[in-house]
């Protein structure tokens, strides 16, 4: 028969009573150490706590406020971009200012505390890579990447209402993922644009959002870009965002978030025959720096 929680509780109470009356202090101390070790061995699991309808209502209000605020700033900066059509680099700069203002504002509306570590590595001309498990990751990228940074997204982003048009106006890069040949050509064009305009790049090497926060395998695109631009790679390790706003959920929770910029990985001496090794090295770097609950299961 299975042991129930109540039975286990009673046994522990009986054992405690026995120890209090029959055991020496040394035995009691040994038991406390044993219990502490057992507690440390137990897996720590991320748990959502349902705080009731008030929490749900607050969450929905925050999400609506984010959407409305983002539409307002997007509309304002779209007008600015139209006035700056003859000046591509100035549009990139304004796109970054839009990101800094809007990203910071959205994080303030959501109410999550954000701890930033390694900020001294956040002003490099580099390829910034980040793990991706939540919409919040995008807000953080908008806010924290330096001026002169462009994103790279699928070409279909142009059809996203208002935001997609602003993305294009801000001279961010798009790739054609319809087939391998088109994707390779798009990456080459993106690399040329980065070098020509002395830009930084932000990219999510997993290629999609993780459903449970655990790190997915990395695509090779960021390594190809590094080989063509010779820019250093700066890993940005995000923790807690998957708990704050899980993929597919309409609940935002006040979970603390950490953004950690790691030391740049120099790519000057990288060679094309070791692409798989570089991808694995970058992936292993994330595994080492993520909490247990966000590490891949295998």
Residue 27 within any structural domain of the chain: no
Residue 150 within any structural domain of the chain: yes
Q: Which CATH number belongs to the domain containing residue 79 in this structure?
A: 3.40.1130
- Mean pLDDT for 144-152 is 91
Q: What is the pLDDT of residue 284?
A: 97
Residue 39 within any structural domain of the chain: no
Total number of domains in the chain: 1
Q: What is the pLDDT of residue 24?
A: 52
Determine phi and psi for 27, rounding to 5 degrees. Answer: -65, -45
Q: In whole angstroms, what is the distance from residue 203 CA to residue 79 CA?
A: 26
Number of H helices, E strands in the chain: 10, 7
Cβ–Cβ under 8 Å, residues 252 and 110: yes
Q: What are 158-212's pLDDT values in tens digits?
A: 888 777 888 888 888 888 777 777 777 878 888 898 998 899 999 999 988 999 9
Q: What are 59-98's pLDDT values in tens digits?
A: 999 999 999 999 999 999 999 999 999 998 899 999 999 9
Residue 37 within any structural domain of the chain: no
Q: What are 213-266's pLDDT values in tens digits?
A: 999 999 999 999 999 999 999 999 999 999 999 888 888 999 999 999 999 999
Percentage of the chain beyond pLDDT 70 is 83
Q: What is the pLDDT of residue 42?
A: 45
Strands (E), the chain: 114-117, 127-130, 149-154, 173-175, 200-203, 233-239, 257-261
Residue 32 within any structural domain of the chain: no
Range of the domain at 121: 53-294
Q: Report yes or no on whether pTM surpasses 0.75.
A: yes
HSE of 17 in the Cβ direction (CA atoms, 13 Å)?
Answer: 6
Residue 19 within any structural domain of the chain: no
Q: What is the pLDDT of residue 224?
A: 92
Q: What is the pLDDT of residue 16?
A: 47
Q: In whole angstroms, what is the distance from residue 90 CA to residue 59 CA?
A: 36
Q: pLDDT confidence of 268, banded at 50, 70, 90?
A: very high
Residue 45 within any structural domain of the chain: no
Q: In whole angstroms, what is the distance from residue 59 CA to residue 106 CA?
A: 13
Q: What is the pLDDT of residue 40?
A: 47
Complete DSSP assignment for 175-240 = E--SSHHHHHHHHHHHHHHHHHTT-EEEE-TTSS--SSSPPPPPPSHHHHHHHHH---EEEEEEES
For 11, 31, 155, 224, the CA distances from 27, given in Å and listed in that order, are 17, 6, 68, 61
Residue 111 within any structural domain of the chain: yes
């Amino acid at each position: 028969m299975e042991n129930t929680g109540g039975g286990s509780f009673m046994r522990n109470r009986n054992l405690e009573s026995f120890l209090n009356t029959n055991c020496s202090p040394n035995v009691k101390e040994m038991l406390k150490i044993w219990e502490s070790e057992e507690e440390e061995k137990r897996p720590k699991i991320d748990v959502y706590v349902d705080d009731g309808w008030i929490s749900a209502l607050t969450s929905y209000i925050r999400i609506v406020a984010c959407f409305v605020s983002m539409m307002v700033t997007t509309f304002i900066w779209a007008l600015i971009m139209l006035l700056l059509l003859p000046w591509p680099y100035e549009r990139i700069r304004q796109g970054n200012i839009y990101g800094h203002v809007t990203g910071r504002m959205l994080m303030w509306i959501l109410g999550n505390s954000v701890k930033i570590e390694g900020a001294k590595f956040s002003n490099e001309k580099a390829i910034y890579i980040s793990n991706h498990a939540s919409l919040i990751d995008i807000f953080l990228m908008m806010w924290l990447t330096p001026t002169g940074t462009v994103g790279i997204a699928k070409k279909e982003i142009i059809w996203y209402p208002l935001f997609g048009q602003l993305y294009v106006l801000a001279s961010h890069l798009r790739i054609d993922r319809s087939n391998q040949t088109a994707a390779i050509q798009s990456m080459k064009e993106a690399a040329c644009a980065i070098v020509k305009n002395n830009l930084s790049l932000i990219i999510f090497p997993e290629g999609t959002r993780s459903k449970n926060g655990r790190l997915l395998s990395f695509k090779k695109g960021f390594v190809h870009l590094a080989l063509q631009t010779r820019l250093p790679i700066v890993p940005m390790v995000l923790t807690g965002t998957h708990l704050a706003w899980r993929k597919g959920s309409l609940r935002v929770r006040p979970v603390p978030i950490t953004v950690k910029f790691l030391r740049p990985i120099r790519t000057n001496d990288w060679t094309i025959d070791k692409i798989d090794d570089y991808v694995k090295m970058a992936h292993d770097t994330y595994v080492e720096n993520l909490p247990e609950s966000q590490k891949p299961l295998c």
